[in-house]
Amino acid sequence: MSLLIKNGEIITADSRYSADIHCEGETITRIDRNLTAPAGTEVIDATGKYVFPGFIDPHVHIYLPFMGTFSKDTYETGSKAALVGGTTTLIEMCCPARADDTLKGFELWISQAVGKSACDFTFHMGVTKFNEQTETQLREIVRRGISSFKIFLAYKGAFGIDDTELYRTLKLAKELGVVVTAHCENETLVAERSKELLAAGKTDPGQHHESRPPAVEAEGVHHLMTFAELTGAATYIVHLSCKEALDQAVAARQRGVRVGIETLIQYLVLDKTYAEKPDFEGAKYVMSPPLRDARNQSVLWHGLRDGLIQTVATDHAPFDFQKQKPMGKDDFTKIPNGIPSLEERVNLLYTYGVKTGKIDLHTLVSVASTQVAKQFDLFPRKGAIQPGADADLVVFDPHYRGTISAKTQAMNVDYSAFEGWPLEGRASVVTVRGQVAARDGKFTGTLGRGQFLKRKPSHF
């Protein structure tokens, strides 16, 4: 099967030119002007449109047992939502509970995706405890194609690890060339502050921010950076939300600490006043770290523009507003954490980042595709438009105008955090390894066709 994308304006992380793209089977084979289509070729006219490399979300939760419930998407619904929004590869956090067997956890997470996902996928292996058996199993998991770990400095008693475990995980990662991704918040501070707030009768969703203010996140980042400095391990801070945390990471980088930084689309476009909405409406906007004061948004946009921050993810974690968020009706610490955004990341980055002049098109491609592929050992198979790369392509229509609504979304969750927000542009045609998987907001792909992407560690 072959595919020809004609007359598009190709935008990569560092170039912009008009050309046609020919794909044979699953791969890009030729890029040139005035290519002609052999008989039987599917031709897509991209006149007036951009052609981007398929976008990669480096931080999603599809299968997530968490806070006494399960996140709502499956690989069937989640991969459809990803593709409709232009995301062709997912990197999911594999998060076995502390009491669970690490290798069995890995196998369980993979089994949720294989034969179900319509887009390609891989995992960050969650290290939620560390002992001799975990170490043996982590070595085996790396042999099976995983090149990144995930650790939590938050969520005491659930996913969180102690400092001895942190040190040993980083030592092992350094030996194996694995990058360690980390949720950075000081869990003791969160626990103590939460108790104080609840004791004072402060139970509403807006208090979530007070339980974990910027200093709590900055301390978590500083903590990780100290351990990274002493072990030499490559690290990556997930969902960085504020200036205080960014300052710590950048200072460590200046000392030679190896650290990549991810922010989220939610922190770029939402602020803490959303979580303070009355009548429990704020629960829709509860996640960790929390949405911050609006002044942080320009810091994060500038960080992307200037290359201080490498990637934009979603931390997609969908919990229904009607049935799941109310678990924390009288106690904000029990509100399942997460703001679903998988489907909207690229469209929001374009409308609220590129169209407003905060970032350019190349930065969009870099932070949502190419840098992700580079950080996580997928480049140049993913994140590139060049012969030999997977034919994961997004034909993007900058003339589209529409609004976001839960009524029309593919994500399996009963609300949208961006209800009624205007969009100026969206993915028009999305291909995965040469097959058209979404068109103008509708899924047209094949469930189960998504592949597990085996990765080789490179962060020695």
By beta-carbon proximity to Zn ion, the closer residue of 183 and 208 is 183
> Which residue's beta carbon is nearest to the bound ligand URP?
337
Strand partners, 11: 16
Contact 292, 264 (CB under 8 A): no
Cβ contacts of 436 within 8 Å, gap of 6 or more: 3, 42, 44, 429, 430, 444, 445
Beta carbon nearer to ligand URP, 158 or 447: 158
The sign of the CA dihedral 156, 157, 163, 166 is negative
The whole-angstrom separation of Cα 144 and Cα 133 is: 17
Residue-by-residue DSSP string for 296-331? HHHHHHHHHHTTSS-EEE--B----TTTTGGGGTT-
- Where do contacts with ligand URP occur on this chain (CB under 6 A)? 61, 183, 239, 287-288, 315, 317, 337-338
Task: Pick one of Zn ion, ligand URP, none as the site partner of residue 316 (Cβ within 5 to 8 A by kind).
Answer: none
In the complex, least distance from residue 447 CB atom to Zn ion, rounded to whole angstroms: 24
Query: Which among 65, 80, 71, 83 is positioned nearest to 318, based on CA atoms?
Result: 71
Q: How do the residues of the chain divide into helix, strand and coil, expressed in percent and rounded to 5?
A: 30, 25, 45
- Cβ 284 to ligand URP shortest distance, Å: 12
Determine the Cα–Cα distance for residues 82 and 424; give it in Å rounded to an integer: 18
Numbers of helices and strands, H then E, in the chain = 13, 19
Q: Which residues contact 410 (CB under 8 A, 6 or more apart)?
A: 77, 80, 81, 84, 343, 443
Interface residues toward Zn ion, by CB under 5 A:
183, 315
> Could you say which of Zn ion, ligand URP, none residue 337 binds, taking C-beta under 5 to 8 angstroms by partner kind?
ligand URP
Least distance CB 338 / ligand URP (angstroms) = 4
Q: Smallest distance from the beta carbon of 257 to ligand URP, in angstroms?
A: 22
Nearest approach, Cβ of 129 to ligand URP (angstroms)?
17
Residues 78, 118: contact at Cβ < 8 Å?
no
Nearer to Zn ion, 222 or 358 (CB): 222
Looking at beta carbons only, is 315 or 392 nearer to Zn ion? 315
In terms of Cα–Cα distance, which of 107, 180, 111, 94 is closest to 144? 107
The entry of ligand URP, Zn ion, none near residue 110 (CB within 5 to 8 angstroms by kind) is: none
Q: Report the DSSP beta bridge partners of residue 22.
A: 4, 30
From Zn ion, ligand URP, none, which one binds at residue 287 (CB under 5 to 8 Å depending on kind)? ligand URP
The minimum distance between CB 269 and ligand URP, in angstroms, equals 16
The DSSP-derived string for 260-297 is EEEEEHHHHH--TTTTT-TTTGGGGG--SSPP--THHH
Question: Which partner, Zn ion, ligand URP, none, binds residue 187 by CB below 5 to 8 Å per kind?
Answer: none
By C-beta, is 52 or 159 nearer to Zn ion? 159
Specify the residue, 24 or 281, whose C-beta has the smaller distance to ligand URP. 281
- Minimum separation from the CB atom of position 288 to ligand URP (A): 4
Smallest distance from Zn ion to CB 287, Å: 8
CB–CB of 298/353 below 8 Å?
no
Nearer to ligand URP, 288 or 435 (CB): 288
At its nearest, how many Å lie between ligand URP and the CB of residue 310?
18
**Whose Cβ is closer to ligand URP: residue 315's or residue 343's?**
315
Residue 90 or 359: the one with the smaller Cβ distance to ligand URP is: 90
Q: How far is CA 147 from CA 91, 122, 376, 460, in A?
A: 11, 10, 7, 11
**Binding partner at 77 among ligand URP, Zn ion, none, C-beta below 5 to 8 Å by kind:** none
